[in-house]
Structure 1
Amino acid sequence: MKHMTKVRGLSAACLLTVPILLSGCGLFGSESAAVDPPPEEIEAQMLEISGSTTLDTGVFGPVAEDTGAAAGTGQQEAIAPGERTTVYLQDSNGLLAPVALKLPEGDSNTMLKDSLTALVSKGAYASTVPEGFSGVLPTGTEVQNVSIDKNKIAVVEFNSVFNEYKPADERTILEAITWTLTGQEGIEGVQLWVDGKKLTEMPLQGTPLDHPLSRSFGINLPRNGPVLMNSTAVTVYFSAATPDGTQQYYVPVTRFVPAGEDRVKAALNELIAGPESAGGLEMVMTGGTAIDSVEAGQNGVVTVSLTDDMFEDAQNVPAEMLESVVLTVAQNADDAPVQIRLNGQETVTGTDNVNYGQPVSAPEYVNALAL
């Protein structure tokens, strides 16, 4: 979506109007996945894969086919470009989620350093972190420098306090750093240094760092499920709510599917299957949702055709359900805009009054939560 001109708009969380979310319960039930390192064979495979897919700018609004401009939606004031920086923080369930923070303006290098400083527990930007979220880097960690090399690798230099993390937090720390930096334009991988020395592996659990980390490293891996030796990692977006139940937000979860399957269709099937039990994630699809087809058009728009008897007329469909589809498709299809067909209807109206039957792009700020 980098080629399209867009109007910046509200975050996904701000656009939701489904009252049931405020109770902390999901639309169709609440369950979740606990995170745990994958088997060593799968871990090695993930570390060797290069490249990344990031959600680019846009809003949950129709993309005009003649100009490529996205129309903003919602009643609150739109967020201007550059006002926020997306970082990956740990929620009260121990899961990482993208959170759009208001950090001081500065040059690109300063902004990159600040985005990582925001990951420091009880750090300089702790006051900007919404309640229920926290940074995962050890208190006292300093980001000494961030530079981008010719291969689009972000080289990050920390002080020695970085090494003082708990062993159980090792993978979470790597995921948070990697997903925070690769969400920025022009960064495809991450390499870590501590006190002037390049890390070839993490100091406590020994996670290999001989290859730069990219988003293929995964995020919020499920603890349970079949071990697929010849597999592909896909990322799906489930829903969660803050501890007080007043704010809804999206959480990316990596799933493993058989290699060779269509990535987008496989990801949507995982979205329909729902999160694993226990942990705070919520179902966003109904038990009756099924995929008819997934087609990529010549104009780059991905058309997702679904059936669901609960919404026969494709009207007043929960926005959370439709937004999760858009986020999941964009994450697995190079930020492609998405249009949804439901029960054969070309007009699919969400509870946010957006017609998802027209091309819709993923938002620049997925979770712009109030403090």
Structure 2
Amino acid sequence: MKHMKPIRGLSAACLLAVPLTLSGCGLFGSESASVDPPPSEVEAQMLQVSGEGTPDTGVLGPVALDEADLAAGVSTDTAPAAAAGERTTVFLEDGNGLLAPVSLSLPEGDNTAMLKDSLAALVSKGQYASALPEGFKGVLPAGTEVKNITVDKDKLAVVEFNSKFNDYEPADERKILEAITWTLTGQDGIQGVQLWVDGKKLTEMPLQDTPLDRPLTRALGINLPKHGPLLMNSSAVTVYFSAATSDGTHQYYVPVTRFVPAGQDTLKAALNELIAGPESEKGLEMVMTQETVLDSVEAGQNGVVTVSLNDDMFTDGKGVPAEMLESVVLTVAQNSDDALVQIRMNGQKTVTGTNNVDYGQPVSAPEYVNVLPL
């Protein structure tokens, strides 16, 4: 099971003199509309993708460093250490209807028990409902139970639910698949998911007939826009935007899968989508300014990805909003093999976030994302 470190809940970025929305700690504005399942042609093709599109990189996973890395000052800490105890990350529905990773403390147990508990946290009005942050909820139908879960040598998690699993609203079908898939594939040693109900393997979902003829992976995507180009002419990338809790007191990150023209460099395409900002996603906020430009993305032989940005608002590379920099790190990690990331801003090699972390030095994606108060 992955043991993860937290991102800071709310940085001093809210105090910067940048255009703020009236909802929470929006850095550079937000847009509001609906996120719904994609066109049926896109969905059918995404479900058939295996190992393509958004890679199952386990963005929440730790990056192992060797002695040379440590001697060179490579950092995995973009936030304070988590409190002692077992933690795992599950994907819950926020107040805007989007799925977001939320780090929870769950009872200690063996690997199977932890996996069961991570899925139990997804059950509406379930045993862990009181342990979820305010404004977040599970998407599995009330009464759903995890009867069994096994992980085979091919890193496939086989999950058996009771019949209550079938008692969902048709409109929630894809969201349920995304929540289960992204929760389990965020754990060590799991790359795919297969679903069973009461001793029978599901070949399709019971209400909307979503095909399940092959294991589900993160190529499924998450929080897809309602409209997009056909997958045959495009590739999928996943980027991390910012959102705020309903009372505006805490900021968190939300992954969104976007379609980009096929053949583009994956990291460049993903970062350009991040810079472009939310299109039609509800409650998501800009993490970049309108003046941000991506100069280059270079993958070094040492496994460190260097992202070079230009933005006149931060000419000296100091006081850059942590949300802006963390979104870059999360997005790069999601669309690569959990690469270490270092950021250049206006050519400056020291890029200090409002969380006092120097992102000019290689950092990894935080091991705990969205540690929110109850």
Q: What TM-score do you get using the length of structure 1 for normalisation?
A: 0.92
Whether 1:346 and 2:341 are equivalent positions in the alignment is: no
Deviations 1:209-267 (A, max 9, x none): 00100000000001234445321111000000110111100000000111211111100
The answer for the alignment partner of 2:45 in structure 1 is 45
Contact 1:8-1:72 within 8 A present in 2 as well? no
Whole-Å separation in 2 of the counterparts to 1:44 and 1:8: 34
The answer for the alignment partner of 1:17 in structure 2 is 12
Whole-Å separation in 2 of the counterparts to 1:186 and 1:155: 13
Distance 1:336 1:356, change over 3 A: same
Which deviates more, 257-266 or 158-167? 257-266
Deviations 1:87-110 (A, max 9, x none): 000000000000001110000000
Whether 1:152 and 2:155 are equivalent positions in the alignment is: yes
The answer for the alignment partner of 1:118 in structure 2 is 121
Whole-Å separation in 1 of the counterparts to 2:39 and 2:23: 36
The answer for the alignment partner of 1:162 in structure 2 is 165
Partner-residue secondary structure (3-state), 1:351: coil
The answer for the alignment partner of 2:208 in structure 1 is 205
The answer for the alignment partner of 1:262 in structure 2 is 265
Deviations 1:178-201 (A, max 9, x none): 000000000000000000000000
Whole-Å separation in 2 of the counterparts to 1:277 and 1:196: 40
Q: CA deviation at 1:17?
A: 2.4
Partner-residue secondary structure (3-state), 2:31: coil
| Count of residue pairs brought into register by the alignment | 360
Whole-Å separation in 1 of the counterparts to 2:148 and 2:304: 39
Which deviates more, 225-234 or 139-148? 225-234
Q: CA deviation at 1:299?
A: 0.6
Q: CA deviation at 1:35?
A: 2.0
Q: CA deviation at 1:278?
A: 5.7
Q: CA deviation at 1:40?
A: 2.5
Of 123, 126, 130, which aligns to 1:127?
Answer: 130
Distance 1:163 1:73, change over 3 A: closer
Whole-Å separation in 2 of the counterparts to 1:81 and 1:50: 37
Contact 1:32-1:282 within 8 A present in 2 as well? no
Contact 2:14-2:25 within 8 A present in 1 as well? no
Q: What TM-score do you get using the length of structure 2 for normalisation?
A: 0.91
Partner-residue secondary structure (3-state), 2:90: strand
Q: Matches of residues 288-367 of structure 1 in structure 2 within 5 Å?
A: 288-367=291-370
The RMSD of aligned alpha carbons is 2.2
Contact 2:78-2:366 within 8 A present in 1 as well? no
Whole-Å separation in 1 of the counterparts to 2:334 and 2:77: 21
Whole-Å separation in 1 of the counterparts to 2:213 and 2:33: 29
Whole-Å separation in 1 of the counterparts to 2:321 and 2:101: 22
Q: CA deviation at 1:8?
A: 5.9
Which deviates more, 13-22 or 325-334? 13-22
The answer for the alignment partner of 1:218 in structure 2 is 221
Contact 1:146-1:155 within 8 A present in 2 as well? yes
Identity %: 73
The answer for the alignment partner of 2:193 in structure 1 is 190
Distance 1:48 1:226, change over 3 A: closer
Contact 1:8-1:81 within 8 A present in 2 as well? no
Q: CA deviation at 1:50?
A: 2.2
Contact 1:41-1:229 within 8 A present in 2 as well? no
Deviations 1:10-29 (A, max 9, x none): x2243622235895141110
Letter in 1 for 2:236: A
Contact 2:242-2:284 within 8 A present in 1 as well? yes
Letter in 2 for 1:49: V
The answer for the alignment partner of 2:62 in structure 1 is 57
Deviations 1:58-96 (A, max 9, x none): 69xxx955367636455x6x2157531100000000000
The answer for the alignment partner of 2:243 in structure 1 is 240
Whether 1:70 and 2:79 are equivalent positions in the alignment is: no
Q: CA deviation at 1:112?
A: 0.3
Unpaired runs of at least 5, structure 2 = none
Whole-Å separation in 2 of the counterparts to 1:302 and 1:313: 21
Deviations 1:279-311 (A, max 9, x none): 100000011111111000001000001111111
Letter in 1 for 2:46: M
Whole-Å separation in 2 of the counterparts to 1:82 and 1:49: 37
Letter in 2 for 1:29: G
Distance 1:184 1:73, change over 3 A: closer
Letter in 2 for 1:361: S
Whole-Å separation in 2 of the counterparts to 1:177 and 1:278: 21
Contact 2:35-2:280 within 8 A present in 1 as well? no
